[in-house]
Amino acid sequence: MTTLMSPRSLSRRGLHVGQTDLPVVEARKVWGHNQVVGRSNHEIEELPESEEMGADRVAFGPIYPTGTEDVGYDPKGINRSLLAREASKAPLVAIRGINAENAAPVIEAGAEAICVTAAVGAAPDPEATGARLVKVIEDAGGRV
């Protein structure tokens, strides 16, 4: 489960919950109504439910294979990412398996944001890897 902390104790403006975490409406009661709440989705059919719950952002994936966490879902790839973008009214956050080598097609497919963990966190030089990822995103038409 996503760790839930008081927004007063953090300078963050958002929270992300998974399918089996706190429902969005409950997260808002704790986190605050002015905070951004996103929700994970592994299938396109889950997107409307997340939007009906009031999620400000919808995460979709895994886009690519990932070694960070076994989520039990097959990678969706760019084609499903495009379909998710078309199916979602909320901003789409592409998740899992994304790195500097494969981020450009994800941005070009219409993801408003990407989430990376191991791509930067497990890199030998996280700062250089992060800078490279920023350049890839900007070159693909995204903004950081």
Half-sphere exposure of 68 (CA within 13 A, CB side): 18
The answer to whether residue 73 sits within a structural domain is: yes
pLDDT for 34 equals 84
Domain-located, residue 114: yes
Q: Which is more confidently placed, 9 or 42?
A: 42
In the chain, the number of structural domains is 1
Confidence of residue 5 (pLDDT cuts 50, 70, 90): very low
For the CA atoms of 137, 38, 84, 133, the dihedral, rounded to the nearest 10 degrees, stands at 10
Q: Kindly report, residue by residue over 52-107, the tens digit of the pLDDT.
A: 999 999 999 999 998 776 668 889 999 999 999 999 999 999 999 999 999 999 99
84-99 burial string, b = 16+ CB within 10 Å, else e? bbebbebbbbbbbbbb
| Domain annotation covers residue 2 | no
Helix (H, G, I), strand (E, B) or coil at 53: coil
Q: The CATH number of the domain where 114 resides is what?
A: 3.20.20.70
Residue 144 lies in a domain: no
Asked if 45 and 76 count as a contact pair (C-beta separation under 8 A), the reply is no
- 57 is a domain residue: yes
- The whole-angstrom separation of Cα 17 and Cα 59 is 10
Could you tell me if 31 and 7 are in contact, meaning their C-beta atoms sit under 8 angstroms apart?
A: yes
What's the pLDDT tens digit per position in 108-127?
A: 999 999 999 899 999 999 99
pLDDT at 71: 66
11: pLDDT confidence band, cut at 50, 70 and 90? Answer: low
98 within a domain of the structure (yes/no) = yes
Supply the range of the domain harboring residue 102.
7-139
Instruction: Please compute the mean of the pLDDT values over residues 6-16 and round it to a whole number.
Output: 61
Q: How far is CA 5 from CA 1, 8, 59, 93, 125, in A?
A: 12, 8, 21, 22, 30
Report if residue 69 sits inside a domain: yes
Rounded CA separation 55/1 (Å)? 17
Residue 85 in any domain: the answer is yes
